[in-house]
Amino acid sequence: MTLETILPPERVLFDVPGGSKKRVLEFFSTFIAQNTPSLDSQEVFSRLIGRERLGSTGIGNGVAIPHARSPHCATPIAGFLKLSEPVDFDAIDGDPVDLVFVLLVPEEADDTHLSLLGQVATIMNDASTRQALRKTNSQRELVDLLMSKIREQATT
């Protein structure tokens, strides 16, 4: 399973209002529940916040990868948000976050979960990729760039 198969263009969001970590996670939870009938926004939010309580998913360099398991998730689901303003995410380096890659996986997901997280981390750990994502000026540009980076990573 690759990121490309679980991240359709309509789940790559440009210029999302931030405000706070909680607001970003609430926004994503509401958005994903509206687009996925089996998911409940409160349940998704509760699981994402629960994961954050274990330790921030802010991996540094302005990037966060919030992720959680959900019993109502039949297959992995991904979303990408480019925030309009960086927010404090309690990241390991203390820097605010403006690039958020969200991952929801089925309750019983095993290596798939770790493989997908690894793919996201590989892409987001590249400084030139982060810089290019931040310079995008439209949703279309953001989708095109992100998909090309995902495809690139999948072939290495």
Would you call 72 a catalytic residue per the annotation? no
Give the 3-state DSSP-derived string for 22-38, with helices as H, strands as E and coil as C: HHHHHHHHHHHHHHCCC
d(CA 47, CA 151): 29
Please identify which of the residues 11, 21, 47, 67 carries the catalytic annotation.
67
Helix 21-35, helix 41-54: angle, nearest 10: 140
- How many CB atoms are closer than 10 A to CB 32? 22
Q: Which residues are tagged catalytic?
A: 67
